[in-house]
Chains A and B, each alone.
Chain A
Amino acid sequence: MTAQTVQQGDLVTVIGLEVHVQLETDTKIFCGCSTERTDEPNENVCPVCLGLPGALPVLNEAAVEAAVKIGKAIDADIPEETRFHRKNYYYPDLPKNFQITQYDEPICADGELEISVEGDRRTVTVERAHLEEDPGSLQHVGGGGGIDSAEYTLVDYNRAGTPLMEIVTAPDFRSPAEVRAFLAELEEVLEYLGVFDAERDGSLRIDANLSIIPAEEIDGEDTAEIGAEALAAANRTEVKNISSHKGAQKALAYEETRQKNAIQRGRAVEQETRHWDESRGITVSMRSKEEEKDYRYFEEADLPPLRVSGWKEEIAIPELPTARRERFEDEYGLSDEAASKLTSTKQVADFYEDVAGEYDPDLAATWVADNLLGELNYRDMEITAIEGRLEEVTRLVELVATDEITAKNARETVLRSMLDDGRTPDEVVAEEGLGKTGEDEVKRAVVEAVEENPDAVADYESGDDGAINFLVGQVMQKTGGSADPGDVNQLLRAELED
């Protein structure tokens, strides 16, 4: 996808992804158990997700709906009907020792997602995206802590049967930064669709295939034109255990360097699976020889094919980030940069639209994109951290919009206090005495100053215009300096005219 030219001797990085996304549904994909997280192991289980003898799967159509939404968002083909297969392999976290998944008729095929990398917009091909069930989770106790070295291993089936979408991209990425941009965009789209919760532990799991291809094996000079042959000729590593877009960039940058170093030193890169060790920041070989796995796929006869023709038309999806960004530019007259910031997450965009609906869209943009996101970012916080307090931020914008406090005080004192010590804007304004003094109070002070200083009044009336400055000073004193001197000057002149 990246149209860059290469030169002799260059090493080109090629990356493809398999992204596992947990779909947000109330119940599991093949039974009625809750998908709610719980600390109690094996609480949300039943004969079906435990794989008890005789239990049968029944498809949760909400999972299919979520999948169709994703398909629609990435403009994928949705087949007339979709069916499930069994993927057969033994593993202790797999209740039936086969996984119900999709094989030759995935719910989504041939989609794409547009991303932005360093200001360039590019398109990544999503080859397929299919539904499957999540296995249980393992807890290795004692010994070396791995499945082969632990003293014993506990199995928790709460996760078993959580609907998963496996999203497989073409080998379209040429750098770890592009991968990160794609994952961030994907997460955002999924959150917009309301089918995914990024906050949830383990909701995103990424496997990445990375190979390094010498420039001389690329026909032509365009790195986007790397052919299947050159790819097949290169040994690739599959990096597993990546769980965030930031982690993906780190893991793949490490792996890219490791492979390039090997090639530059004339060593071969082994085709293998490597494990990303987040704490150590390195990838570790999992098995040196990757045996060809045979999953013996065959049709899951317990689930009749589901007709989904027409679902794509029937199921509505909300406006997606790209479309919303463009609309923000048109509707609110925002710059591309501001619109991008404001559509970075659905919550930010929704909040912006709330505020812009009531106050000036420019003021709202400054407050949400610059002030609020800036201060949050400085504190390494997401907008979700103040989810319940957005009304307070709106109130703060109101205080500025109605001129009750100065913009400077609002930003530097009120907002920061709100975030740092949890006070409401009105509390900060009252406790710090930041309110611009009310008009009545200024008027009262003007009247008082005129009454209390007959000499100065007489001087003014006799033509000494300098006397007005003395009176302004008196009023400023009475109002504790919070009145605007220009306003006071005018009020005094009006009072003295009478």
Chain B
Amino acid sequence: MSENVFITEERIEGDDDGPLAGRTVAVKDNISTAGVRTTCGSRMLEEYVPPYDATVVSRLKDAGATIVGKTNMDEFGMGSTTETSSFGPTDNPAAPGRVPGGSSGGSAAAVAAGEADLALGSDTGGSIRCPAAFCGVVGIKPTYGLVSRYGLVAYGNSLEQIGPFANSVEDAAQLLDVIAGDDEHDATTREPPRGSDGRTGDARETREPQLENGASYADAATGDVDGLQIGVPTELLEGADEGVVETFWDAIADLEDRGAEYHEVSLPSVEHAVEAYYVIAMSEASSNLARFDGVRYGHDADAEGNWNETFAQAREEGFGDEVKRRILLGTYALSAGYHDKYYKKAQDARAWVKQDFDEALEEADVLASPTMPVPPFERGKSLEDPLQMYLADANTVPVNLADLPAISVPAGETDGLPVGLQLVGPAFGEERLIRAASALE
């Protein structure tokens, strides 16, 4: 296939029946599949075959899905273009010659190109929403704790979630139904508060009907936005591409036509979000990726010298430049003498961002912005200026810092390039996002 969507194409058959019987799913290559190699887009894990299935993979199989392959990605999830993969870049099926976004670029492209009905990605700072926006498909980043991370190779473990891609909101919601829920192997999973739509303990009347027993996320894709209050954070429109902004407002106008109302809100903390996000993600990465030393699995450098030299050489050979950059910066941010200045300060900023979102969501049901401030980049440009790449995550990373759910849904095009609209909801407010996003289809 011309797009280079898969790192490994291999069919893994699920159960004979179940809600996803007959559906094909592409799985990001940082999600463990027993017996099928899981590379994370890295030379380090080129030959690593996990002995166990990630919880989400077991759930896919139980639901009757057929996994069709492991998709390309930025190495260890570190990138927004899928160009840092050591297995070559992936083309954007919706905008040939452009990047598919990242880091779950292969998964979004697989759905956009019809290589799979559905796909799983992971989102640490926008890695589902960015490629969904760039490839013109739907992507959901669930509330932190809604989906088990067991088997997801960690990059920024306090930030990331596995989530679905599909060509429609309803299909994405159906995949979310399959993978969501408490898991004894992941202590950070939580059952969503029942029937509360994310506002447990809040005595205020909610506008939306409460979930009945047996109701599903897929059932929420009704397109009903009558009375929906949309908050638009002005900070997330600043500096965005004109065509993107125009497309965004057109989509908001559509929602207004269907009974929604919007008002502007302010999230002053988000100007620090990108810095805070990168400090936290890189710090966690420096620790999460320490285990790749070539002893039990992964790239074996066959080096001479003592264990320390052997470890160093395995890592020197196994990791690409972007991964090394982030490990080094993260190690630095956690070091004695810098910890308070960087890591601790980033944690303070994270708390502030959370608080800002909580307050904004008191006044609005959902917050809306362009998913990405720009249309898909041309291929080959991104590796020249990492800082510009980091800044392109401005609208997605605050959501991970705040542990909130978000969805990216196609909003239209600018100059023939896809534009995504991002909706952010309160914790465990996925149904609300699904309902609102489905109104744009």
Contact = CB atoms under 8 A, between A and B. Distances in A.
Contacts of A301: 157-158, 188, 284
A347 interface: no
18 contacts: A47-B51, A53-B40, A53-B45, A55-B150, A56-B185, A90-B308, A92-B307, A97-B291, A148-B306, A296-B331, A296-B336, A298-B283, A298-B287, A301-B158, A301-B188, A302-B187, A303-B187, A304-B188
A103 to B, nearest CB: 12
Given A92-B295, A95-B291, A302 B188 contact: yes
A466 interface: no
Interface in A24-51: 47, 50-51
Contacts of B152: 54
Contacts of A98: 287, 290
B297 A52 contact: yes
Contacts of B297: 52-53
Interface in B286-322: 286-287, 290-293, 295-297, 306-308, 311
Contacts of A55: 52, 150-151
Given A294-B336, A296-B334, A298-B343, A59 B291 contact: no
A147 interface: yes
B291 A51 contact: yes
A294 B335 contact: yes
Interface string A325-339: 000000000000000
Given A59-B187, A98-B290, A294-B335, A52 B50 contact: yes
A153 interface: yes
Contacts of B331: 296
Tell me whether chain A's interface is mostly helix, strand or loop, or mixed. loop
Given A88-B290, A95-B291, A301-B188, A50 B296 contact: yes
Contacts of A147: 306-307
A303 B189 CA distance: 10
Output the residue of B48, B283, B296 with the most chain A CB within 10 A. B296
Interface residue tally on A, bucketed by range: 20 to 34
A153 B307 CA distance: 9
Contact of B334 (A51, A54, A58, A298): A298
B153 interface: yes
B32 interface: yes
Contacts of A90: 290, 293, 308, 311
B154 interface: yes
A146 B97 CA distance: 56
A436 interface: no
A87 to B, nearest CB: 10
A57 interface: yes
Interface string A73-105: 000000000000010101010011110000000
Contact of A52 (B30, B52, B184): B52
A52 B49 CA distance: 11
Contacts of B311: 90
B186 A56 contact: yes
Given A90-B293, A298-B339, 14 more contacts: A52-B297, A53-B40, A53-B48, A53-B292, A54-B152, A88-B286, A88-B334, A90-B308, A92-B293, A95-B291, A95-B296, A301-B157, A301-B188, A301-B284
Interface of A: 47, 50-59, 86, 88, 90, 92, 95-98, 147-148, 153, 155, 294, 296, 298, 301-304
Contacts of A298: 283-284, 287, 334, 339, 343
A296 B308 CA distance: 18
Interface string B30-41: 111000001010
Contacts of A51: 291, 296
B54 interface: yes
Interface in B24-63: 30-32, 38, 40, 45, 48, 50-52, 54
A56 to B, nearest CB: 5
Contacts of A97: 290-291, 293
B149 interface: yes
B185 A96 contact: no
Interface of B: 30-32, 38, 40, 45, 48, 50-52, 54, 149-154, 157-158, 184-188, 283-284, 286-287, 290-293, 295-297, 306-308, 311, 331, 334-336, 339, 343
Contacts of B284: 298, 301
Contacts of A50: 296
Given A90-B290, A302-B157, A54 B336 contact: no
Given A58-B187, A86-B287, A301-B188, A53 B38 contact: yes
A365 to B, nearest CB: 51
A54 B157 CA distance: 10
Contact of B32 (A54, A155, A303): A54
Contacts, number: 102
Contacts of A303: 187
A47 B287 contact: no
Nearest to B31: A54
Closest 3 CB pairs between A and B?
A: A301-B158, A97-B290, A296-B334
Given A296-B331, A298-B343, A54 B151 contact: yes
A294 B334 CA distance: 9
A58 B50 contact: no
B146 to A, nearest CB: 15
Contacts of A92: 293, 295, 307
A57 B186 CA distance: 7
A95 B298 CA distance: 13
Output the residue of B151, B287, B311, B339 with the most chain A CB within 10 A. B287
Contacts of B32: 52-54
Nearest to B292: A53
Contact of B185 (A53, A58, A95, A296): A58
Contacts of B184: 58
A495 to B, nearest CB: 83
A362 to B, nearest CB: 56
A53 B45 CA distance: 10
Output the residue of B48, B151, B290 with the most chain A CB within 10 A. B290
A92 B292 CA distance: 11
A294 B339 CA distance: 11
B89 to A, nearest CB: 23
A90 to B, nearest CB: 6
A294 B151 CA distance: 30
Nearest to A298: B334
A94 to B, nearest CB: 9
B157 A88 contact: no
A86 B185 CA distance: 19
Contacts of A54: 30-32, 38, 50, 54, 149-154
B166 to A, nearest CB: 24
Nearest to A90: B311
Given A52-B296, A53-B50, A54-B152, A88 B287 contact: yes
Contacts of B334: 88, 296, 298
A162 to B, nearest CB: 18
Contact of A53 (B291, B307, B335): B291
A302 B311 CA distance: 25
A52 B149 CA distance: 13
B290 A96 contact: yes
Contacts of A153: 307
Contacts of B343: 298
A296 B291 CA distance: 15
A9 B52 CA distance: 66
B51 to A, nearest CB: 7
Output the residue of B154, B185, B311 with the most chain A CB within 10 A. B185
A56 B149 contact: yes
Nearest to B333: A296
A53 B154 CA distance: 7
